[in-house]
Amino acid sequence: MIRHARIPDARKIHKLLLVYAQDGQLLGRSLANIYDSIRDFYVYEEDGEILGIGALSICWEDLAEVRSLAVAPGQQGKGIGRKIVEMCLSEATELGLKRVFALTYQPNFFKTLGFFDIEKSELPQKIWGDCINCVKYPDCDELALAINLLE
């Protein structure tokens, strides 16, 4: 089941992100940041256990980001990540957003969902909003992809 995250999920979200942040597969987020953005998160829950997470973060009037996408170790390949991204895209469409992007080390996953390669320079709101404070800035090695929702 996919649902919006709730306050009691924050520590579990943080723990799952740390699994992948520790080996550099994604950027970690502080627990305070997760509480601050808990409404952005979706969780995939099965038998009371959170097996996947992802967030839709609005950047601008026509732009949002799918971020903090993670699936519990041993649960990959079951469609959990796909379902979370599809839920994020559905919400973005409902909100009237024209474009959603992702910064990722897994571009092929996003391409199977209709995303395409873009240059990071196409994302000025992201660069000045979050990236400027990242430890990897300006030498980010994540790839940027986007999907157009409304023409």
- Which DSSP symbol is given to 35? H
Answer whether 56's CB lies under 8 Å from 40's CB: yes
Helix residue spans in the chain (DSSP H): 10-21, 31-36, 80-95, 107-111, 124-129
Question: What's the pLDDT tens digit per position in 18-75?
Answer: 999 888 788 788 999 999 999 999 999 999 999 999 999 998 899 999 999 999 999 9
Reported confidence tier of residue 136, pLDDT bands at 50, 70, 90: low
Question: What's the pLDDT tens digit per position in 69-107?
Answer: 999 999 999 999 999 999 999 999 999 999 999 999 899
Whether 128 has a pLDDT exceeding 60, the answer reads no
Given this structure, which CATH class describes domain 2-148?
A: alpha beta
pLDDT (0 to 100) of residue 151: 63
